[in-house]
Amino acid sequence: MTSWVSNAWYVAAWDAEVDVAPLARTICGVPMVLYRKLDRSVVALRDACPHRLLPLSLGLREGDSIRCRYHGLKLGPDGIAEEMPLRSDPVNRRVCAESFVTAERHRFVWVWVGDRALADPALIPDLWACSAPGWVFDGGYTRVAADYRLMIDNLMDLTHETYVHAGSIGQPEILDAPIEAQVRADGVFVSRWMPGIEAPPFWRDALKADGPVDRWQVCRFLLPAAVMIDVGVAPVGAGATLDSHDHGVRGMVVDFMTPESETSHHYFWGMARNFDIDDAGFTARFKRQQGGVFAEDKAILEAQQASIAANPELGLTAYRIDEGGVRARQIIARAIANGETA
Amino acid sequence: MTSWVSNAWYVAAWDAEVDVAPLARTICGVPMVLYRKLDRSVVALRDACPHRLLPLSLGLREGDSIRCRYHGLKLGPDGIAEEMPLRSDPVNRRVCAESFVTAERHRFVWVWVGDRALADPALIPDLWACSAPGWVFDGGYTRVAADYRLMIDNLMDLTHETYVHAGSIGQPEILDAPIEAQVRADGVFVSRWMPGIEAPPFWRDALKADGPVDRWQVCRFLLPAAVMIDVGVAPVGAGATLDSHDHGVRGMVVDFMTPESETSHHYFWGMARNFDIDDAGFTARFKRQQGGVFAEDKAILEAQQASIAANPELGLTAYRIDEGGVRARQIIARAIANGETA
Amino acid sequence: MTSWVSNAWYVAAWDAEVDVAPLARTICGVPMVLYRKLDRSVVALRDACPHRLLPLSLGLREGDSIRCRYHGLKLGPDGIAEEMPLRSDPVNRRVCAESFVTAERHRFVWVWVGDRALADPALIPDLWACSAPGWVFDGGYTRVAADYRLMIDNLMDLTHETYVHAGSIGQPEILDAPIEAQVRADGVFVSRWMPGIEAPPFWRDALKADGPVDRWQVCRFLLPAAVMIDVGVAPVGAGATLDSHDHGVRGMVVDFMTPESETSHHYFWGMARNFDIDDAGFTARFKRQQGGVFAEDKAILEAQQASIAANPELGLTAYRIDEGGVRARQIIARAIANGETA
């Protein structure tokens, strides 16, 4: 029994991480090798040669195939043998490495872990802001030595910004805004609505206007392991509401936590925005800044994971602020128990 | 079942190690955070926030309280919640971190591990020489990756000085002196009495006189994990005996071994003396020298611990010289079996 | 149950590695200390003082004996106590460290692991080329963090040269030569006979003659863990055959894999040759080159071992090229099951 949903799409890599050269990455406990074919589509195979288990990621690319660096067994992009170690030997097509269904969407490479027959691209989490017209998106990758659910907890409660990010993005006013958690068919939502406030400098610059604004923060969890945080401001009176707020400037923090093991995960993070979309310098600066913020989270979560191990008699407790994370975990647990696809 | 006595006072730190900033240290398997209040008394709490288990030692001090660096839960020095992560939330005083009784004596900060109700400062081991008038005391701290009982064995038999400390304090004459081991109500004693010998240079300098001396070495084990080694010389004829020897110059090597885990401990070491007590330079030089000697012991004990793990089919054996250690281990084992306080 | 034959001779070290100063090395899971007596014969004892288990390899040599660095227990070269920690104590000759039978042959120091009574020097694997008149032999040592049988597999199939050693000794022609595997009383043989080919540069230089040659490669496995690879060329028509080929130039790659643990081994490698035997520069250059080649194998095998651990649901599979390794493993397994001596 794992702590993650088995039949689901997980982000394996940023689109730019996967190229002709093989990339090794363990996804949901399975060592995988990822590479692109000549048509740029992505291959994902178990990262072990079916012959003597040498990682295929050490192998040599040949056309769309990969040849093991040990004895030269050559496998096609479907994982099936194309040439035996002795070239004169007849090919045994039952010799194969497990292959995984992949997809590319929203700037991420996705793999389906679990039953191949159930892999439906329509089930890829709808991280719409990453690829919507009029929006621009970029971000980065951080490996975190902590249970992926600890990062979901973290993102579903922005209270932590005040302390963890005291030196960067933390703002005490966040603590004063009432929050509301909701479980809906399309995810778990934790919302904050801050009407008629003075815009903080970041948002005033984005809006390019003075005057009072309505501000929102909506954290949304999507199965199997995504969090999108919808943030922005609109001038008071422009008509923005918690449910509909495309009147001002808007950003979408996009986070995907792919389990590596029970106590580590791959953290893919970024921000999409609908303002200054042609300003590549802003994109680059913001990515660097965001990387710094998430390095703060990484330090906290890894300390938390170590403390969980060092205090086996203690359990996590939850207060009102944790409701979003609690609900997200319930949905994960239910999907695991029911064998549901995510 | 642990290898140490549960209901007992253990040295957690030197007095100077604990200050306003939090100190993390695992005592008898329990991660603790230590800090001083404004009145300088010492707080010891389990080093895990009751909310999400982040180590409190990463937290922020506020007055006598500590605030978790993750979500800002604020705990008083008694470990009880004073402010919830959302400041507007009512305080739930059942939210708390386990707190430990502390005391400060003999230049050490002590914690009581086990049942709080039994914590009686009168039970603190009487390391009298560390705080007696006419004596001066100083020392240091070394973490040792070995069962704390291996250090007790080491200290209760000074035969090892000849080999382990061949380059520093070892002296072959020690091997020739008869030893006597005794179990008394106030500890296990191993005594050497060397009458009418020439004083070694260290002791001649201390005594500031030539001529034959009587010399003694008395190793004493005290529950739960202390060893005091009473050493010195007196001029022949001054009336010193093994039981009463305040006639010449006298030092007391003080060692406390606090278990960290089953295979590691915190080693607090130092020397008290009743000569040259105003010579701060001597104190500093001796501490540096003693640190060098104990680094030799650390190397030996860590190799011994590794060898114990690498040779699971072998056990420690004991000869006559080990009687002190054997007796000390028996007393520890009996106290553990009986659930006695130390 | 171990993965190696218990009653057998294993190479513990190169002759030059063992000297007056103690050498620590774990052989078949047993920590051992090795040193030479004044008559240059080799002592092997369990590397743990029978008193408190400090590794004897940290001890002090005295004549043919070794004295523990902790309390000075002195053991003779037979492992039996010669002096107790207190010199005045009567010697208890039942106090002893386990001693192992050693031998020196073929430039290696051998130890017999298992029942001492069965240790017969006649059972030392006959690595004849290492010490035959008219031959010269040298080589080196590499620790490899992989099951020793993975190295046997590696050496019993030279197909891997093409890929693993693509940058050094790999040659595609090897893949085209038919191979033949045979199990005989004196070992497992995998043979390649390449008649009437052009000699590769290395062998043309060795032969000092142009013209077509017959070339051979004969891999031979010997219990408990040796592989000798007989390689060379002879001019066509000189009369060389697969079974008898002392007509041209000949080399013998000699490999011994001594288990350290279930997942690591000591790899002793070298080459004997019957040409240019007085050219010390050739010997030194070839050893350096061979060290580089085996570093490539080490990298592959350690990646393979890690992959075996990371893919517990997968097993090694075997094709035609692996027959030599498969047969060698069968012989090992049978010897283990039958409790045979090797």
pLDDT digits (tens, 9 = 90+) for B53-85: 999 999 999 999 999 999 999 999 999 999 998
Rounded CA gap, C70 and C2, in Å?
32
Rounded CA gap, B46 and B38, in Å?
20
Q: Do A307 and B53 touch (CB under 8 A)?
A: yes
- Picking from C88, C122, C156, the residue at the C-terminal end of a domain is C122
Taking residues B257-286, report their average pLDDT.
Answer: 97
Question: What chains are in contact with C, requiring at least 3 Cβ pairs below 8 Å?
Answer: A, B
DSSP state of A36: E
DSSP state of A183: E
Q: What is the pLDDT of residue B87?
A: 80
Q: How many domains does chain C have?
A: 2
Say if residue B167's pLDDT is above 70: no
Q: Do B54 and A304 touch (CB under 8 A)?
A: yes
Taking residues A58-83, report their average pLDDT.
Answer: 97
Give the CB-side neighbour count of residue C181, counting CA atoms within 13 A. Answer: 15
In a domain, A132, yes or no: yes
- Dihedral of alpha carbons B27, B33, B37, B40, sign: positive
Place of tokens 């007509």: C247
Here the tokens at position A241 are 């509401």
Across the B:C interface, residue pairs with CB atoms under 8 Å apart total 70
The confidence band for A247, taking pLDDT boundaries of 50, 70 and 90, is confident
Q: Do B70 and A304 touch (CB under 8 A)?
A: yes
Instruction: Examine the domain organization and report whether B90 and B157 are in the same domain.
Output: no
Instruction: Examine the domain organization and report whether C115 and C186 are in the same domain.
Output: no
Q: pLDDT tens string for chain C (342 positions)?
A: 899 999 999 999 999 999 999 999 999 999 999 999 999 999 999 999 999 999 999 999 999 999 999 999 999 999 999 999 888 889 999 999 999 999 999 999 999 999 999 999 999 999 999 999 999 999 999 999 999 999 999 999 878 887 888 766 666 666 667 778 899 988 999 998 999 998 888 899 999 999 999 999 999 999 999 999 999 999 999 999 998 998 899 999 999 999 999 999 999 999 999 999 999 999 999 999 999 999 999 999 999 999 999 999 999 999 988 999 999 999 999 999 987 665
Q: What is the pLDDT of residue B260?
A: 98
Q: What is the pLDDT of residue B341?
A: 65
Name the residue among B26, B53, B95 with its Cβ closest to that of A316: B53
Rounded CA gap, A149 and A3, in Å?
9
Rounded CA gap, A231 and A203, in Å?
10
Rounded CA gap, A66 and C300, in Å?
17
Could you count the other beta carbons within 10 Å of the beta carbon of residue A40? 11
CB A193 within 8 A of CB A179: no
In a domain, B2, yes or no: no
Chain C contact residues (CB < 8 Å to A): 153, 157, 159-160, 162-164, 175-176, 300, 303-304, 306-308, 310-311, 314, 316-317, 319-321
Say if residue B208's pLDDT is above 70: yes
- Picking from B72, B99, B122, the residue at the C-terminal end of a domain is B122
Across the A:C interface, residue pairs with CB atoms under 8 Å apart total 71
Chain A contact residues (CB < 8 Å to C): 26, 31, 46-48, 50-55, 58, 60, 67-72, 84-89, 95
CATH for C73: 2.102.10.10
Say if residue A182's pLDDT is above 80: yes
Say if residue B340's pLDDT is above 90: no
Instruction: Examine the domain organization and report whether A164 and A221 are in the same domain.
Output: yes
Instruction: Examine the domain organization and report whether C274 and C137 are in the same domain.
Output: yes
Rounded CA gap, B228 and B11, in Å?
14
Q: What is the pLDDT of residue B88?
A: 81
Rounded CA gap, C274 and C250, in Å?
6
Q: What is the DSSP string of A261-317?
A: ETTEEEEEEEEEESSSTT-HHHHHHHHHHHHHHHHHHHHHHHHHHHHHHH-TT----
Instruction: Examine the domain organization and report whether A196 and A323 are in the same domain.
Output: yes
Could you count the other beta carbons within 10 Å of the beta carbon of residue C144? 23
SS (H, E, C) A185-203: CCEEEEEEEEEEECCCHHH
Name the residue among A160, A175, A308 with its Cβ closest to that of B53: A308
- Picking from C92, C122, C152, the residue at the C-terminal end of a domain is C122
Q: What is the pLDDT of residue B173?
A: 63
Taking residues A122-137, report their average pLDDT.
Answer: 97
Predicted ipTM of the assembly: 0.92
Instruction: Examine the domain organization and report whether C133 and C118 are in the same domain.
Output: no
Q: Work out the minimum CA distance from A26 to partner chain C, whole angstroms.
A: 9
Taking residues A193-212, report their average pLDDT.
Answer: 91
Instruction: Examine the domain organization and report whether B321 and B241 are in the same domain.
Output: yes
Between residues A242 and B269, the one the model is more confident about: B269
Q: Chain A residue closest to C309 (CA)? A: A53
CATH for B144: 3.90.380.10
In a domain, C2, yes or no: no
Burial of A287 (0-12, 13-18, 19+ CB in 10 A): middle
Helix, strand or coil for residue B26? strand
Q: Work out the minimum CA distance from B72 to partner chain A, whole angstroms.
A: 6
SS (H, E, C) C38-51: CCCCEEEEECCCCC
Rounded CA gap, B263 and A66, in Å?
47
Which residues does chain C have within 8 Å of residue B170's beta carbon, measured at their own beta carbons? none
The answer for A153, left when phi > 0, alpha when psi is -120 to 50, beta otherwise, is alpha
Q: What is the pLDDT of residue B333?
A: 96
Question: What chains are in contact with B, requiring at least 3 Cβ pairs below 8 Å?
Answer: A, C
Place of tokens 């109700």: B117
Q: What is the pLDDT of residue C266?
A: 98
CB A163 within 8 A of CB B70: yes
Per-residue pLDDT tens over the stretch B223-257: 999 999 999 999 999 999 998 998 899 999 999 99
**Nearest residue to C142 (alpha-carbon basis) of C18, C247, C13:** C13
**Nearest residue to C300 (alpha-carbon basis) of A61, A69, A47, A75:** A69
Instruction: Examine the domain organization and report whether C70 and C150 are in the same domain.
Output: no
Per-residue pLDDT tens over the stretch A288-301: 999 999 999 999 99
Instruction: Examine the domain organization and report whether A145 and A85 are in the same domain.
Output: no
Rounded CA gap, B106 and B268, in Å?
12
In a domain, B1, yes or no: no
Instruction: Examine the domain organization and report whether A61 and A175 are in the same domain.
Output: no
Instruction: Examine the domain organization and report whether A135 and A273 are in the same domain.
Output: yes
CB B100 within 8 A of CB B32: yes
Instruction: Examine the domain organization and report whether B132 and B104 are in the same domain.
Output: no
Rounded CA gap, A285 and C18, in Å?
60
In a domain, A334, yes or no: yes
In a domain, A6, yes or no: no
Q: Work out the minimum CA distance from B58 to partner chain A, whole angstroms.
A: 9
Range of the domain at C153: 128-338
Rounded CA gap, B108 and B124, in Å?
11
In a domain, C94, yes or no: yes
Q: What is the pTM of this model?
A: 0.93
- Dihedral of alpha carbons C159, C164, C166, C168, sign: negative
DSSP state of B243: S
- Residue A8's DSSP bridge partners are A113
In a domain, B238, yes or no: yes
Q: Do A153 and B68 touch (CB under 8 A)?
A: no
